Protein backbone atom coordinates (compact mmCIF):
# COMPACT_ATOMS: atom_id res chain seq x y z
CA UNK A 1 0.00 0.00 0.00
CA UNK A 2 1.52 3.28 -1.09
CA UNK A 3 0.46 5.28 1.96
CA UNK A 4 2.88 7.46 3.91
CA UNK A 5 1.18 6.86 7.26
CA UNK A 6 0.91 3.07 6.69
CA UNK A 7 4.67 3.16 6.09
CA UNK A 8 5.16 5.07 9.34
CA UNK A 9 3.04 2.51 11.23
CA UNK A 10 5.07 -0.40 9.77
CA UNK A 11 8.37 1.36 10.53
CA UNK A 12 9.36 1.56 6.87
CA UNK A 13 9.51 5.35 7.36
CA UNK A 14 10.97 6.37 10.73
CA UNK A 15 8.97 8.47 13.19
CA UNK A 16 9.18 9.66 16.77
CA UNK A 17 6.64 7.31 18.37
CA UNK A 18 4.56 8.68 21.24
CA UNK A 19 2.17 5.76 21.79
CA UNK A 20 1.17 2.46 20.21
CA UNK A 21 -1.37 -0.26 20.91
CA UNK A 22 -3.22 -2.88 18.87
CA UNK A 23 -5.42 -0.31 17.13
CA UNK A 24 -3.64 3.05 17.07
CA UNK A 25 -0.23 4.60 16.50
CA UNK A 26 0.81 8.11 17.60
CA UNK A 27 3.90 10.08 16.64
CA UNK A 28 5.26 13.62 16.52
CA UNK A 29 4.40 15.76 13.50
CA UNK A 30 7.47 16.49 11.36
CA UNK A 31 6.34 20.14 10.89
CA UNK A 32 4.92 20.86 14.35
CA UNK A 33 2.53 23.78 14.92
CA UNK A 34 3.86 23.81 18.49
CA UNK A 35 6.16 21.67 20.63
CA UNK A 36 4.60 18.25 21.16
CA UNK A 37 2.28 18.39 18.11
CA UNK A 38 1.15 14.76 17.93
CA UNK A 39 -0.68 12.78 15.25
CA UNK A 40 -2.86 9.81 16.19
CA UNK A 41 -3.83 7.23 13.55
CA UNK A 42 -5.94 4.10 13.40
CA UNK A 43 -3.67 1.26 12.26
CA UNK A 44 -6.37 0.26 9.78
CA UNK A 45 -5.97 2.17 6.50
CA UNK A 46 -9.10 4.33 6.16
CA UNK A 47 -8.71 7.41 3.93
CA UNK A 48 -11.19 9.82 5.58
CA UNK A 49 -12.85 10.29 8.96
CA UNK A 50 -16.30 10.21 7.33
CA UNK A 51 -15.53 6.75 5.96
CA UNK A 52 -14.95 5.31 9.45
CA UNK A 53 -17.35 2.96 11.17
CA UNK A 54 -18.71 4.11 14.52
CA UNK A 55 -16.93 1.46 16.61
CA UNK A 56 -13.59 2.40 15.01
CA UNK A 57 -14.17 6.08 15.86
CA UNK A 58 -14.82 5.11 19.50
CA UNK A 59 -11.54 3.17 19.69
CA UNK A 60 -9.64 6.02 18.02
CA UNK A 61 -11.07 8.73 20.28
CA UNK A 62 -10.56 6.74 23.48
CA UNK A 63 -6.87 6.70 22.54
CA UNK A 64 -6.93 10.37 21.50
CA UNK A 65 -8.35 11.25 24.92
CA UNK A 66 -5.70 9.26 26.78
CA UNK A 67 -2.86 10.66 24.66
CA UNK A 68 -4.21 14.23 24.98
CA UNK A 69 -4.12 13.94 28.78
CA UNK A 70 -0.56 12.61 28.67
CA UNK A 71 0.62 15.34 26.25
CA UNK A 72 -1.00 18.09 28.34
CA UNK A 73 0.55 16.76 31.53
CA UNK A 74 4.01 16.05 30.09
CA UNK A 75 4.36 19.47 28.47
CA UNK A 76 2.43 21.31 31.16
CA UNK A 77 0.33 22.77 28.31
CA UNK A 78 -2.47 25.18 29.18
CA UNK A 79 -4.71 23.67 26.50
CA UNK A 80 -4.79 21.73 23.24
CA UNK A 81 -6.36 21.91 19.83
CA UNK A 82 -7.63 18.44 18.91
CA UNK A 83 -8.84 18.12 15.34
CA UNK A 84 -9.21 16.40 12.01
CA UNK A 85 -8.89 17.68 8.46
CA UNK A 86 -11.44 15.58 6.55
CA UNK A 87 -10.83 15.69 2.79
CA UNK A 88 -8.42 17.56 0.59
CA UNK A 89 -10.51 20.76 0.47
CA UNK A 90 -10.44 20.80 4.27
CA UNK A 91 -6.64 20.67 4.32
CA UNK A 92 -6.10 16.90 4.54
CA UNK A 93 -2.78 16.20 2.84
CA UNK A 94 -2.32 12.53 3.82
CA UNK A 95 -5.27 10.26 2.91
CA UNK A 96 -5.13 8.07 6.05
CA UNK A 97 -7.37 9.26 8.91
CA UNK A 98 -5.45 11.13 11.60
CA UNK A 99 -6.15 13.34 14.57
CA UNK A 100 -3.94 16.31 15.38
CA UNK A 101 -3.18 17.09 19.04
CA UNK A 102 -1.61 20.55 19.25
CA UNK A 103 -0.46 21.89 22.64
CA UNK A 104 -1.39 25.53 23.26
CA UNK A 105 -0.29 28.27 25.61
CA UNK A 106 -1.63 31.75 26.23
CA UNK A 107 -0.41 34.29 23.64
CA UNK A 108 1.39 31.58 21.62
CA UNK A 109 0.31 33.24 18.37
CA UNK A 110 -1.44 30.11 17.12
CA UNK A 111 -4.89 31.71 16.74
CA UNK A 112 -8.12 29.91 17.57
Closer to Zn ion by Cβ: residue 5 or 25: 5
Q: Which does 96 bind (CB under 5 to 8 A by kind): ligand 5GP, Zn ion, none?
A: Zn ion
| Residue 3: how many other CB atoms lie within 10 Å | 14
CB of 112 to Zn ion, least distance (A): 30
Q: How far is 112 from 101, CA to CA, in rounded Å?
A: 14
Closer to Zn ion by Cβ: residue 12 or 54: 12
Concerning whether 96 is annotated as a catalytic residue, the answer is no
7 touching Zn ion, by CB under 5 A:
no
**Contact predicate 41/26, CB 8 Å:** yes
Amino acid sequence: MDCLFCKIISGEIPSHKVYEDEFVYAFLDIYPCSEGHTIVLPKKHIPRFTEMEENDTSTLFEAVNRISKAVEKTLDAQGLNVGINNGEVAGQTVPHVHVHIIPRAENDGGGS
